[in-house]
Structure 1
């Protein structure tokens, strides 16, 4: 999959909130990096070659809880449809209608319109919430298993059989770095530093060792300023 000449990257630095650690590393958005190349089996092969593990393909419903992964980085590839993704803040109500459409969330963050072909590399600790999905469809896991890996003898074959409908995304995480949790905000208050210290993978999930990927976009950073910011919350 040759994408080396098609790289546009948008970077978003998200400060910690009262409930969300976020990260010293920027959220990376590669708009249309995989335009017309949204083949789950081929993307899976690219992940594998770069030491990232494909774990799921989900079809998203109209909205979901804002959440983050406290000890692992994540890559999300949009395979079909369109949606809005809000990054960087927690919901402040358990009512999804209120937290999505009536402002029941923390202040700040960034909202990005996502479409098929977009790629997001999300540092550990950065909150995200997918909503306003189109075409509308019910939430569903489209890959065999429970969303913690492709549970099939022939993983590539299983991914070739995935029927993309509605707004779907494919998720991968660095190999041998544990599993993802589903933290909604507040779980790591008092220990944000542990999330900020999650090691940087050696390779970008799709761009490998290229400087356009995390090798060049994520830098080794001191945590002192971020700790000072946290102390003021």
Structure 2
């Protein structure tokens, strides 16, 4: 399901996958042109101002993974990347410098190819547990489903500062 919120953010509600659980209650949000290209500090300031803790600067792993106990915001500071969201049967999304994608707990993501200058700022809601990193192994699933269900919804959208909800 692909919709747009009133603020222009793209929303993707991903179904439960065989390999990764995804999140049945919260959509993935894609904010196009949300941060100044080339300015990692500006992305970090934006996130911090809306209650998200910048945690790292790097890229996106080239294998499927997800965090069952934390939501994650990824600001593409430079370059471009094709990200597969939701596991093997998921949706490919093209992201470029300035875009921010917000991944609810449980959302699978994988770098399918990127420019050499890719730089990403990652952030998590303040107060969140240190994010785990799961890969879709069957033995992970029961604990992951419990973690996803009990991870509190983000208080705010990390880009707009408004409610995370679908509106």
TM-score (normalizing by structure 2): 0.85
- Runs of 4+ off more than 3 Å: none
Q: Give the length in aligned residue pairs.
A: 159
- Of 201, 224, 232 in structure 1, the residue corresponding to residue 154 of structure 2 is 201
Mean Cα displacement is larger for which, 25-34 or 169-178?
25-34
Aligned-CA RMSD value: 2.0
Higher fraction of strand: 2
Report if aligned partners of 2:33, 2:99 keep a CA contact under 8 Å in 1: yes
CA distance in 1 between counterparts of 2:142 and 2:132 reads: 18
C-alpha distance in structure 2 between counterparts of 1:206 and 1:31, whole Å? 10
Select the residue among 190, 196, 202 that pairs with 2:142: 190
Stretches of structure 1 that go unaligned for 5 or more consecutive residues are 1-6, 90-105, 137-165, 219-233
- Tell which structure's C-alpha radius of gyration is larger: 1
Cα contact 2:79–2:114 (8 A) shared by 1: yes
Provide the rounded CA distance (Å) in 2 between the counterparts of 1:132 and 1:181.
24
Give TM-score scaled by structure 1 length: 0.63
Give how far 1:189 is off.
1.7
Residue number in structure 2 paired with 1:176: 127
Aligned to 2:14: 14
Corresponding residue number in structure 2 for 1:128: 109
Match of 2:78 in 1: 80
Distance in 1 separating the partners of 2:150 and 2:9: 23
- Name the residue aligned to 2:118: 167
What residue ranges of structure 2 are gaps of 5+ in the alignment? 1-6
Q: CA deviation at 1:8?
A: 2.2
Distance 1:169 1:179, change over 3 A: same
